[in-house]
Structure 1
Amino acid sequence: MEQRPSAGSQWTFLTNHARVLVQIARDPGIRVRDIAARCLLSERGVQRIIVDLEEAGYLTHQRIGRANHYRVIAGKQLRHPADSGPRLAELLAVLLPGHPGASSRRCPG
């Protein structure tokens, strides 16, 4: 059974952007519908997050037939000045131990 944050919960450790990026890193061919279901977000919300990630240079996509195939830019530095040391690859290594092929298909958090 899925555990949702309690109604009184005001924050989480990971942002929705991080959750979406983790799902794409796990499966570059994942559908927006599946990301939304795993991250408990709307499809429209996931689409907006993907646009944000692409505009910031963390992600690209290529259309293959009717599906998108995503590519995470792992060498990109994290966005916030306080996080400026590590690169995206280091964050993903922590969030996806043993990647590729991480066994869990659910969003972290």
Structure 2
Amino acid sequence: MSSTDDRSSSWTFLTHHARVLVEIARDPAIRLRDIAAGIGITERAVQSIVRDLYEAGYLSRHRVGRRNHYSLNLDQHFRYPTEANLPISLLVDMFAQHDLHDRKSPGDQS
């Protein structure tokens, strides 16, 4: 079990916290169960991550009917000391641009 494929699938560059943040940026009305299914972790883990992000000031949430809607604080900075001077908007913008590129149809000129 020492093949490169096995080792490469056991880690990623983005943490679950970053992936949850990006999913919320993509859809501020997303359900936690949909985030969990999309990134492959439990709904309970997503709840914990959203709580972490909320308590650290990375997002706010408000109820609309029976659902939560989220707003990101894109001016908040990364937590790791070597990236602490950079806002999280850089991460979110990078993935938002990726999404826009993927969603364009082949004949779309915009």
Instruction: Give the TM-score range, shorter chain.
Output: 0.7 to 0.9
In the other structure, the counterpart of 1:84 is 84
Q: Does 1:64 align with 2:64?
A: yes
1:102 Cα offset (Å): 6.7
Structure 2 unaligned blocks of 5 or more: 104-110
Contact 1:75/1:87 (<8 A) preserved: yes
Distance 1:100 1:53, change over 3 A: farther
In the other structure, the counterpart of 1:29 is 29
Of Structure 1 and Structure 2, the greater helix share is in: 2
Distance 1:56 1:45, change over 3 A: same
Structure with the greater relative contact order (CA < 8 A, sep ≥ 6): 1 or 2?
Answer: 1
**Cα distance in 1 between the residues matched to 2:92 and 2:60:** 16
In the other structure, the counterpart of 2:51 is 51
In the other structure, the counterpart of 1:107 is none
**Number of matched residues?**
99
1:90 Cα offset (Å): 1.3
Q: Letter of the 1:25 partner, please give it.
A: A
**Cα distance in 2 between the residues matched to 1:98 and 1:8:** 22
1:98 Cα offset (Å): 6.1
1:16 Cα offset (Å): 0.2
In the other structure, the counterpart of 1:75 is 75
Distance 1:102 1:62, change over 3 A: farther
What does 1:97-108 correspond to in 2, within 5 Å?
A: 97=97, 103=103
**Cα distance in 1 between the residues matched to 2:22 and 2:84:** 19
Identity among equivalent positions (%) equals 45
**Cα distance in 2 between the residues matched to 1:30 and 1:101:** 21
**Cα distance in 1 between the residues matched to 2:57 and 2:25:** 14
Give the TM-score normalised by structure 2: 0.79
1:6 Cα offset (Å): 4.0
Structure 1 unaligned blocks of 5 or more: 104-109
